């Protein structure tokens, strides 16, 4: 091959380089744009990853009757009646040296000690028969991660003298200072030889605790008891399988529930209001005390898969609604709200299990051998499941299962509620009202523009509508929220009767119009009906202004809002669906109009000419020939319009109250998926559950609008091919 002149060679090199650059760049950009979908999906996938657990081995330790894991999961404190407190580093198993028990601790050996709760509090009856409350806590130098340099500082209170040592302590609750005395007091429920007893005492060495018996029905034998969160009520489980809610002072039973098998143990999930009940044959359920028809009742609101033996105890996580339950042969972690079993592992022999406050570490201490078994549990988003997002869920404090979206609350133990149903409902509701308003206006307007308007008129109408498409939605939203909403509130009746007034007026004027000479009508009327109707519309505004207040006075007794309230049982919110429908319709009209108008004007002339030649009137041609032929185009216009309405954010954000409710009434607001994202994502912690749920919502919006637009595009392409073939 002869060598090319150098500039030609350069040109060819350049050509190859640019071909490579553009192909590469183009593919990269397309790939990047499509990777958006994948990224958004990827961010929401961890919501549905099942919990992962792993055994972390077995440690040998002295025999103990209780264990408490630190927040960090790096150290465990073991309680033993003979030796008091011991601490170990986990999972290594090296023991940590503790300073000798301070003088205010009870003398060894202890007569009785309860297993510590998630915050490290337990009751101890010392060798001197005095009762003390211990609050275990590590004192850590700032930023120190090595448990060897931590100091265990148990805070002992009490040393209360006991009238008699009970056989077992069922439950206790520390009542924070509330009374005139100022100090906090302790309520204890226990079992003595004589039966169920309780007492309340101040935590001072000078105090004496005298047990007060609780009179139960003689046929019932208490096997477990727990105080309600305020300490005012006592829940008692019996061997006969009955759960009682009673007042300890009087022994009066307020409500009972049948559990179905002997009750072995009681406990609470985070928040201390869901009562966990474990049976002697492995049944596991959660109860709550809830007001149904003005009466407090014990309601079984969650049930969990059965266990293989008597449920020995419960331990709640301090982070979410998961809890640990164990039997002699099995330890499980269940989630209260989703009823999902997150963890299950076999164990051997009687013992005490505990869950780290973050819920990520499970420890079982065998009472017989002293062996400690450890498991880790990785479940970042246990509170979300498919059923919870899309189904009714029975939340704590609710009377029955409901669809609720409530992502943040005031307290630490608040449980976020992530039902997407109210948001999807709100989206559909807003879209429906917008389409109800926009569809007829846009399609008939397009039909008129394409078939009847004079060419000159057509050339002014189309740009005007295209400008309408360019109106920023934030401006529409502002007008809707701050101008239209108050206006509609003041003039709702007028707005409602306006279409009828226009109709009436048109009917009144029509006879006069038809009396006018035909040449005049043809010269000035045909194709310019729009212009003639403008003064009619204006006149109708004036008439409505007079008629509205009159109708409101005569037919509605002066105020339409009270009328709505009394006659229809509907409340009127200022920022309601009508306002949204109107404003969003405004955003959707130009889209539907433009695409429909294109489809209608490109209907082949041969079809309309044939129809007119057969003697059909222009309207008959438009309605029977043009509209059906172009209907796929109109369908596709509607799809695109729907897509816009579904995703519209600013208008709904500004023109609705953003309350996630399930109500079709046009007079109240809604919260849509898109507005919800805009409201909540700035506050959502990175990679938290809320963050991921919002990404899921964005994914839904993406997929939904993408499908709608694709369907519209395919329909449009087919229509174009059909027109070409005619």
Partner 1 sequence: MSRLGERFRQGGIFVWFSGTLLAFCLAMILCLVGYIVAKGMGYFWPSPLAQVQTSEGPVLGEITGHEPAHGEETEKLQFRVGNRDVFGQDFRWIPAAGLSTPEYPKEAVLIERLEYGPFIGRVASLSHEGQTVATGTSALQEALKHLPEAERLRHHIQTIEKGQVGDLNRRIEKLRLSRHKLEAKGDVAGLQALDAKTADLQSAYDQLQTSLEQSRAEAKAWTLSLQTADGQIKECPLGSVVRVVPANALGPFGKVRVYLSRLWEFVADDPRESNTEGGIFPAIFGTVMMVLVMSVLVVPLGVITALYLREYARQGWLVRAVRVAVNNLAGVPSIVFGVFGLGFFVYGLGGTIDKLFFADSLPTPTYGTGGILWASLTLALLTVPVVVVATEEALGAVPRSQREASLAMGATKWQTLWKVVLPSATPGILTGLILAIARGAGEVAPLMLTGVVKLAPAMPLDSTFPFLHLDRKFMHLGFHIYDVGFQSPNSEAAKPMVFMASFLLLLVVVVLNLFALNLRRKLRERLGGSTF
DSSP strand pairing (155-162 vs 208-209): parallel
Residue 471: φ, ψ to 5°: -60, 125
CB nearer to partner 1: give 403 or 695.
695
* Closest CB 71 distance from partner 1, rounded Å: 21
DSSP string, 180-227: SS-S-EEEEEEEETTEEEEEEEESSTT-EE--EE----TT--EEEEEE
Q: Is 598 in the site for partner 1 (CB under 8 A)?
A: yes
Applying CB under 8 A, among 166, 357, 477, 581 the residue interacting with partner 1 is 477
Q: Is 468 in the site for partner 1 (CB under 8 A)?
A: yes
Q: Is 625 in the site for partner 1 (CB under 8 A)?
A: no
Applying CB under 8 A, among 211, 552, 665, 715 the residue interacting with partner 1 is 552
Applying CB under 8 A, among 224, 312, 355, 502 the residue interacting with partner 1 is 502
Q: What is d(CA 102, CA 96) in angstroms, rounded to the nearest whole number?
A: 17
CB nearer to partner 1: give 202 or 530.
530
Q: Is 530 in the site for partner 1 (CB under 8 A)?
A: yes
- In the region spanning residues 599 to 618, those forming contacts with partner 1, defined by CB under 8 A, are 602, 617-618
Site string for partner 1, 644-683 (x = CB under 8 A): x-xxxxx--xx-------------------x--xx--xx-
* Closest CB 687 distance from partner 1, rounded Å: 8
* Closest CB 626 distance from partner 1, rounded Å: 12
Contact 209, 160 (CB under 8 A): yes
DSSP string, 391-434: S-B--TT-SS-B--EE---SSTTPPPEE-SHHHHHHHHHHHHHH
* Closest CB 48 distance from partner 1, rounded Å: 17
CB nearer to partner 1: give 98 or 491.
491
Phi-psi region of 118 (alpha: psi -120 to 50; beta: other; left: phi over 0): alpha
Contact 21, 55 (CB under 8 A): no
Q: Is 571 in the site for partner 1 (CB under 8 A)?
A: no
Q: Is 445 in the site for partner 1 (CB under 8 A)?
A: yes
Applying CB under 8 A, among 345, 428, 441, 543 the residue interacting with partner 1 is 441
CB nearer to partner 1: give 89 or 720.
720
Q: Output the CA torsion sign for 229, 230, 233, 234.
A: positive
Is cis: bond before 210, omega within 30 of 0? Answer: no
Applying CB under 8 A, among 589, 600, 625, 693 the residue interacting with partner 1 is 589
CB nearer to partner 1: give 141 or 511.
511
Applying CB under 8 A, among 1, 33, 193, 613 the residue interacting with partner 1 is 33
Contact 629, 611 (CB under 8 A): no
Classify residue 384 by burial, with Cβ atoms within 10 Å: 0-12, 13-18, 19+: buried
Classify residue 375 by burial, with Cβ atoms within 10 Å: 0-12, 13-18, 19+: buried
Q: Is 630 in the site for partner 1 (CB under 8 A)?
A: no
- Contacts by 243-246, CB closer than 8 A, 24 or more apart: 243/275, 243/277, 243/287, 243/298, 244/216, 244/220, 245/289, 245/296, 245/298, 246/214
Applying CB under 8 A, among 116, 643, 660, 669 the residue interacting with partner 1 is 643
Whole-angstrom CA distances from 36 to 275, 640, 648 are: 45, 21, 19
Q: Is 34 in the site for partner 1 (CB under 8 A)?
A: yes
Q: What is d(CA 429, CA 447) in angstroms, rounded to the nearest whole number?
A: 27
Q: Which residue has the tokens 């607001």?
A: 669
* Closest CB 346 distance from partner 1, rounded Å: 41
Site string for partner 1, 10-29 (x = CB under 8 A): -xx-xx--xx--xx-xxx-x
CB nearer to partner 1: give 175 or 491.
491
Virtual torsion, Cα 593, 594, 595, 601, nearest 10 deg: 100
Q: Is 424 in the site for partner 1 (CB under 8 A)?
A: no
CB nearer to partner 1: give 87 or 465.
465
Q: What is d(CA 90, CA 372) in angstroms, rounded to the nearest whole number?
A: 10
Q: Is 164 in the site for partner 1 (CB under 8 A)?
A: no
Q: Is 695 in the site for partner 1 (CB under 8 A)?
A: yes
DSSP type of residue 681: G
Q: Is 547 in the site for partner 1 (CB under 8 A)?
A: no
- Other beta carbons within 10 angstroms of residue 43's beta carbon come to 17
- In the region spanning residues 121 to 140, those forming contacts with partner 1, defined by CB under 8 A, are none
* Closest CB 155 distance from partner 1, rounded Å: 33
CB nearer to partner 1: give 43 or 413.
43
Q: Is 62 in the site for partner 1 (CB under 8 A)?
A: no
* Closest CB 619 distance from partner 1, rounded Å: 3
Half-sphere exposure of 592 (CA within 13 A, CB side): 30
CB nearer to partner 1: give 185 or 649.
649
Q: What is d(CA 191, CA 620) in angstroms, rounded to the nearest whole number?
A: 91
- In the region spanning residues 221 to 280, those forming contacts with partner 1, defined by CB under 8 A, are none
Q: Contacts with partner 1: how many residues (CB under 8 A)?
A: 103
CB nearer to partner 1: give 184 or 574.
574
Q: Is 635 in the site for partner 1 (CB under 8 A)?
A: no
Applying CB under 8 A, among 151, 474, 542, 567 the residue interacting with partner 1 is 474
* Closest CB 182 distance from partner 1, rounded Å: 40
Applying CB under 8 A, among 107, 349, 472, 628 the residue interacting with partner 1 is 472
Q: Which residue has the tokens 């209608």?
A: 600
């Amino acid at each position: 091959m002869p060598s090319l002149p150098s500039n030609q060679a350069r040109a060819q090199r350049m050509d190859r380089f640019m071909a490579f650059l553009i192909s590469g760049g183009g593919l990269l950009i397309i790939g990047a744009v499509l990777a958006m979908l994948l990224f958004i999906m990827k961010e929401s996938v961890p919501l549905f990853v099942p919990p992962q657990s792993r055994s972390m081995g077995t440690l040998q330790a002295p025999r103990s009757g209780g264990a408490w894991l630190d927040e960090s999961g790096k150290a465990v404190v073991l309680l033993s009646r003979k030796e008091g407190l011991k601490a170990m580093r986990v999972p290594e198993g090296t023991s940590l040296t503790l300073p000798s028990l301070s003088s205010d601790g009870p003398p060894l050996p202890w007569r009785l000690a309860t297993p510590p709760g998630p915050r490290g509090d337990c009751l101890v009856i010392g060798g001197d028969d005095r009762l003390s409350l211990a609050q275990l806590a590590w004192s850590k130098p700032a930023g120190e991660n090595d448990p060897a340099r931590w100091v265990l500082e148990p805070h002992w209170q009490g040393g209360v003298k006991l009238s008699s040592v009970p056989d077992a302590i069922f439950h206790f609750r520390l009542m924070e200072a509330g009374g005139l005395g100022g100090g906090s007091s302790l309520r204890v429920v226990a079992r003595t030889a004589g039966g169920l007893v309780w007492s309340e005492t101040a935590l001072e060495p000078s105090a004496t605790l005298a047990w007060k018996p609780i009179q139960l029905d003689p046929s019932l034998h208490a096997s477990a008891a727990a105080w309600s969160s305020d300490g005012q009520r006592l829940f008692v489980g019996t061997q006969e399988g009955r759960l009682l809610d009673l007042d300890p002072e009087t022994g009066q039973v307020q409500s009972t529930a049948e559990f179905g098998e002997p009750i072995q143990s009681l406990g609470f999930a985070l928040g201390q209001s869901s009562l966990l009940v474990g049976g002697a044959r492995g049944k596991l359920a959660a109860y709550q005390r809830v007001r149904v028809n003005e009466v407090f009742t014990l309601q079984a609101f969650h049930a969990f898969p059965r266990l293989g033996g008597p449920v020995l105890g419960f331990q709640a996580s301090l982070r979410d609604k998961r809890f640990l339950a164990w039997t002699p042969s099995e330890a499980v972690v269940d989630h209260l709200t989703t009823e999902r079993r997150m963890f299950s592992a076999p164990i051997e022999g009687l013992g005490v299990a505990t869950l780290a406050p973050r819920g990520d570490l499970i420890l079982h201490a065998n009472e017989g051998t002293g062996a400690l078994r450890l498991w880790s549990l990785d479940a970042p988003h246990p509170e979300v499941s498919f059923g919870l997002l899309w189904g009714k869920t029975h939340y704590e404090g609710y009377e029955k299962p409901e669809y609720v979206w409530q992502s943040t609350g005031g307290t630490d133990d608040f449980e976020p509620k992530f039902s997407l149903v109210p948001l999807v409902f709100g989206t559909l509701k807003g879209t429906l009202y917008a389409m109800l308003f926009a569809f007829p206006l846009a399609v008939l307007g397009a039909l008129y523009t394409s078939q009847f308007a004079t060419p000159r008129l057509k050339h002014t109408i189309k740009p005007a509508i295209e400008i309408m498409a360019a109106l920023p939605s934030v401006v529409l939203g502002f007008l809707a929220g701050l101008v239209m909403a108050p206006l509609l509130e003041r003039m709702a009746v007028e707005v409602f009767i306006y279409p009828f007034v226009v109709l009436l007026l048109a009917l009144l004027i029509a006879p006069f119009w038809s009396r006018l000479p035909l040449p005049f009508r043809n010269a000035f009327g045909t194709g310019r009906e729009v212009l003639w109707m403008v003064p009619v519309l204006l006149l109708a505004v004036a008439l409505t202004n007079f008629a509205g207040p009159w109708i409101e006075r005569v037919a509605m007794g002066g105020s339409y809002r009270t009328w709505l309230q009394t006659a229809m049982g509907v409340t009127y919110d200022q920022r309601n669906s009508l306002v949204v429908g109107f404003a969003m319709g405004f955003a959707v009209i130009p889209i539907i109009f433009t695409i429909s108008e294109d489809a209608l004007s490109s209907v082949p002339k041969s079809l309309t000419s044939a129809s007119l030649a057969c003697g059909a009137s222009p309207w008959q041609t438009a309605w029977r020939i043009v509209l059906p032929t172009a209907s796929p185009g109109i369908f596709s216009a509607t799809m695109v319009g729907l897509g816009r309405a579904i995703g519209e954010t600013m208008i709904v954000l500004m023109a609705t109250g953003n309350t996630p409710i399930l109500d079709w009434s046009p007079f109240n607001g809604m919260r849509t998926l898109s507005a919800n994202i805009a409201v909540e994502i700035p506050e959502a912690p990175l990679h938290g559950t809320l963050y991921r749920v919002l990404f899921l919502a964005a994914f839904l919006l993406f997929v939904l609008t993408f499908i709608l637009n694709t369907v519209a595009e395919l329909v449009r392409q087919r229509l174009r091919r059909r027109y070409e073939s005619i």
